[in-house]
Amino acid sequence: MKLICGLGNPGREYERHRHNVGFMVVDALLARARAELTQDKFQARVGQGSLGGERILFVEPQTYMNLSGRSVAEAARFYKVAVQDVLVVHDELDLPFGRLQLKAGGGAGGHNGLKSMVQCLGEDAFIRVRVGIGKPEGPNAKERVAGYVLSNFDDGERRQLEELIGKAADMAESWVRDGLATAMNRHNRKA
């Protein structure tokens, strides 16, 4: 079994925010797996399905971004999923909008959801699908980051969002089916 988690914040008011792109990708994967998030456990919405012949536990933490690791660590322990079999889909300020990257391990880079994941899982060896959302530019850009990630995609981005979510879901599905090295070679080059 593998665990695929999307990072985001619960509630309708956050639904379409840049910070919730992880949830959006998991929702696309659920459709492919003909699965639903049918349970509320581990402080998350949880469902099971299969992709590429592999059983998948889908997790959308409901703890808010900064505590996401609690849900994922609890679910991984309960189902005995190794950290290397956990894939986390998250927004990434350090990639321009539209860029995607599949990678294993690495630091949190200031992303509070990833900090929580590393802290609660006890290591950083989980797999990541980094979905580029860009970042604010100009004076006081650092001070504007929180407002930026908690805002909706602009009109131009929204027109490309469905395709971007589909490509991120392709990366995750390729990781399940083909393994990390093959999936990285196939998808990181295209990105």
pLDDT single digits (tens) 90-147: 999 999 999 999 999 998 888 999 999 999 999 999 999 999 999 998 888 888 999 9
Which structural domain range is residue 15 located in?
A: 2-188
The band of 35, judged by pLDDT with boundaries at 50, 70 and 90, is very high
State the pTM of this model. 0.96
Helix (H) or strand (E) holding 96: none
Task: State the binding site.
Answer: 14, 64, 66, 112
Report the pLDDT value the prediction gives residue 142, as an integer from 0 to 100.
Answer: 83
Query: Mean pLDDT score of the chain, rounded to an integer?
Result: 95
CA 154 → CA 50, 97, 151, 164, distances in Å? 33, 11, 9, 14
Of the candidates 19, 90, 111, 187, the residue annotated as catalytic is 19
Say whether pLDDT at 190 is over 80: no
Report the pLDDT value the prediction gives residue 1, as an integer from 0 to 100.
Answer: 97
CATH number of residue 132's parent domain: 3.40.50.1470
Say how many C-beta atoms besides its own lie within 10 A of residue 181's C-beta.
10
**pLDDT for 147-181, tens place per residue?**
999 999 999 999 999 999 999 999 999 999 999 99
Catalytic site includes residue 19 = yes
Report the pLDDT value the prediction gives residue 189, as an integer from 0 to 100.
Answer: 74
In this prediction, what percent of the chain has a pLDDT beyond 70? 99
Task: State the binding site for tRNA.
Answer: 14, 64, 66, 112
CA 34 → CA 12, 59, 72, distances in Å? 23, 15, 22
> What mean pLDDT do residues 42-56 have?
96
Report the pLDDT value the prediction gives residue 138, as an integer from 0 to 100.
Answer: 85
Sequence-ordered list of residues with C-beta below 8 angstroms from that of 62, at least 6 positions apart, any chain: 10, 40, 43, 44, 45, 71
- Number of domains present in the structure of the chain: 1
The band of 61, judged by pLDDT with boundaries at 50, 70 and 90, is very high
Helix (H) or strand (E) holding 32: helix 21-33
Q: Which two tokens mark 58? A: 């889908």
Tokens 């860029």 found at: 99
